[in-house]
Amino acid sequence: MYQVVIAAGAAPLLSFDELLAADATPSSAGWLRPNLIWLQGASCSGCSTSFLNVEQITILDFLTYFSRVLYHPNLSTATGDQVPRILTKVAVSDKPYILIMEGAIPVGMPHACMMADRPIGEWVKGLAAKASVCIAAGTCAASGGVAKMAGTLTGVASLDDFLRQRGIKTPVVNLPACPMHPEHLVYTLLHFIKSKRLPELDDARRPRQFFTHSVHERCPRYPAFQARDFALRIGEEGCLLELGCQGPVTYNDCVAIGYNGNTNNCVRAGHPCIGCAGELFPRPRLYHTHDDPKAKTGVVVKKS
């Protein structure tokens, strides 16, 4: 089994460059490439798509040199009866693996997500218990996401809640955002591969270095916020708070690293943050912070 250590205190941060150093590939260093099993529950596959867009390393290099994908619903060629055979074989073997869960688990309507005639929850339960670490990829897996909105009937659970309720103690890492940022997942996996430790996690089991700062703190529109210069329509200059921006109550480094090779992110592009990395995402009124008093503390809006 891989030994998992969750870094505590002020563990030194490893940069992507260090993690990708030439001598760091498992094959050159004589390490085992970690086995990955990726499952999808109540999800849209957006986090899988996002994963393929990782920029710090090509996805092909990551999958070829740094890891070994035993099963992924979209990437694997295995279909039909092959899939349960692979997963059952892994579950009863001593082969160590990392379980990545995309999407929430529909415990209230188990037949909403079936794989090989079994509810996805049964697969998660069996595979998570023996995994070295479980990673919740995206907001749906981390906190329920879209499938947990009021009015949905599937009664979903996040990965962490699902495992806790079943007494499964495998360490969980939460990587919220809709979709999950690919660098967050690949960094976490590379950190584990290189150091045999998880990066330092916060109370919500998120890697600290990605989720310590709010979107608001790093927003290029922050000077406009300070000047109480608020946009009242999409497309206007100024802070987007009056348009429902959830940047003040959402923690994610998306402003700093952007998506698609740092091409852009929501607030940089002029769109209010909809809090995709927050536990309450999606709110009943997507573009609204007015139900959260923290968001507007000390803000006096001057309408023109």
Q: Which of 25, 248, 249, 279 binds ligand SF4 (CB under 6 A)?
A: 248
> How far apart are CB 254 and ligand SF4 at their closest, in Å?
3
173-192 residues near ligand SF4, rule: CB under 6 A? 177
Residues 47, 39 contacting (CB under 8 angstroms): no
> How far apart are CB 191 and ligand SF4 at their closest, in Å?
22
| Residue 45 CB burial class (10 angstroms; 0-12, 13-18, ≥19) | middle
Q: Which stretch binds ligand SF4 (CB under 6 A): 62-70, 121-129, 185-193, 241-249?
A: 241-249
Q: What is the dihedral of CA 65, 66, 69, 74, to 10 degrees?
A: -90
As given in the structure block, the two tokens for residue 11 are 């563990």
Q: Which of 225, 244, 249, 279 binds ligand SF4 (CB under 6 A)?
A: 225
Q: Which of 124, 180, 241, 249 binds ligand SF4 (CB under 6 A)?
A: 241
Tell me: does residue 240 bind ligand SF4 (CB under 6 A): yes
Tell me: does residue 141 bind ligand SF4 (CB under 6 A): no
Q: Which stretch binds ligand SF4 (CB under 6 A): 43-51, 117-125, 199-207, 219-227?
A: 219-227
Residues 282, 149 contacting (CB under 8 angstroms): yes
258-277 residues near ligand SF4, rule: CB under 6 A? 265-267, 273-277
Q: Which of 5, 252, 263, 287 binds ligand SF4 (CB under 6 A)?
A: 252
The CA-atom distances, in angstroms, between 139 and each of 144, 157, 253, 266, 285 are 6, 12, 15, 17, 17
As given in the structure block, the two tokens for residue 114 are 């079936």
> How far apart are CB 302 and ligand SF4 at their closest, in Å?
14
Q: Which amino acid belongs to residue 71?
A: Y
As given in the structure block, the two tokens for residue 62 are 């990551």
Q: Which amino acid belongs to residue 169?
A: K
> How far apart are CB 233 and ligand SF4 at their closest, in Å?
14
Q: What is the dihedral of CA 47, 108, 172, 174, to 10 degrees?
A: 40
Residues that bind ligand SF4 (CB under 6 A): 177, 215-216, 219, 221-222, 225, 239-241, 245, 247-248, 250, 252, 254, 265-267, 273-277
